[in-house]
A = this chain, B = another copy of it.
Amino acid sequence: MTAQAPISGEIERSGGTWRFAANQPLRLDSGATLAPLEVAYETYGALNAQKTNAVLVCHALTGDQHLASNHPITGKPGWWDLYVGPGRPLDPARHFIICTNVVGGCMGTTGPASTDPRSGAAYGLTFPVITIADMVRAQAMLIEAMGIETLFAAVGGSMGGMQVLQWAADYPEKLFSAVCIAAAARHSAQNIAFHEVGRQAIMADPNWCGGAYLAAGLRPDKGLAVARMAAHITYLSESALQRKFGRELQRDGLSWGFDADFQVESYLRHQGASFVDRFDANSYLYITRALDYFDLAGQHGGVLANAFQRARHVKFCVLSFSSDWLYPTSESRDVVRALNGAGCRASFAEIETDKGHDAFFLDDPQLHQTLHGFLAAQAQARGLA
């Protein structure tokens, strides 16, 4: 690694969210660089004098920096509001909690809807393909610019959990502890297949315009809605869908047509229709691609344990949900085995629930307790308690 100037940048509050404008380009795994780099983020709580209480929370595919603050478009509470607050696992009275919008995202961090300085127009498909490691590299630049040497914890579920694993591989020296929830160390063929369906649905929409829909004043909402609907099925378990909806009808009797007869149809249509209000179609392409490219063992000679060789001092907590068929427990067990193989300390729990992958967003008592217990023990070890 060549010696580099320290990373800094302008940090300001604008449009209801913090923005970090880096003084350096973001080096990407593809070989390209991204400049200028802006990272949108939210924080909760205050950094202590020793700068030892910072927790980075990494969001999932369609998440954003609004961890515990109302979403500016939907007005809904933050996506992990239930886990942030007094007496909750993440407590602003004790932790300085940071949540960044990922690179490639659409909530303020540089992504395909951002302006390409070379053209003066939105990047669209000229945006470089990014990876989970690129997302993490941008987060590390922000952390460095904040003067934080070590995160007390990196925490995330689903794609957020993959970022946590990537942190442990790339910046172990900046981590005290790590919590990886409902994730995997690589995307399976089925994971890739579902994402490809979503991408094809978006690209099949003529309003997508080869990615240049913003310049055309159009939005591929129909394609993006179909992508979301397909993905949403994978976030729930079969039994949760059956319990929640079964074959319940919207009205008395069948319509004998193609209206939403069944409640599950209406629910899915609503998921698709509301998603397009808050998400950019090209961001969906880029972030699903980053997920499909993710293969932590592949980055380390095919041996997952090699990814964690420098992380022996990090305390890991790996959690899975029994009914998650998107990133099933077996994938988390593979991570734990690799951590053990590398000599890392890892707690592991499979949380019993029939709610499927999205259980990590829900008010699960066992998830509360496990997170609380792990972070409290680490706080004591870190001298924060």
> B-contacting residues of A (Cβ < 8 Å)?
30, 125, 128-129, 186-190, 192-194, 196-197, 199-201, 203-206, 222-223, 225-226, 229-230, 233, 238, 241-242, 244-247, 254, 256-258, 260-262, 264-265, 268-269, 272, 285, 289, 292-293, 295, 298, 325
Q: Out of B189, B245, B265, B325, which one reaches A242, CB within 8 Å?
A: B189
Give the dominant DSSP class at A's interface. Answer: helix
Residues in B whose Cβ lies below 8 Å from that of A187: 247
Q: Out of B194, B245, B256, B260, which one reaches A233, CB within 8 Å?
A: B194
Residues in B whose Cβ lies below 8 Å from that of A193: 229, 233, 241, 264-265, 268
Residues in B whose Cβ lies below 8 Å from that of A226: 197, 200-201, 204, 226
Report the bound CA distance from A205 to B208 in whole Å: 12
CB atoms of A295 and B190 under 8 A apart: no
Rounded to whole Å, the gap between the CB of A24 and the closest CB of chain B is: 22
Report the bound CA distance from A257 to B126 in whole Å: 10
Residues in B whose Cβ lies below 8 Å from that of A189: 238, 241-242, 244-247, 262, 264
Report the bound CA distance from A200 to B273 in whole Å: 11
Residue among A226, A265, A292, A295 with max Cβ neighbours from chain B (10 Å): A226
Rounded to whole Å, the gap between the CB of A61 and the closest CB of chain B is: 16
Report the bound CA distance from A338 to B189 in whole Å: 37
Report the bound CA distance from A125 to B257 in whole Å: 9
CB atoms of B258 and A190 under 8 A apart: no
CB atoms of B229 and A196 under 8 A apart: yes
CB nearest neighbor in B for A229:
B197
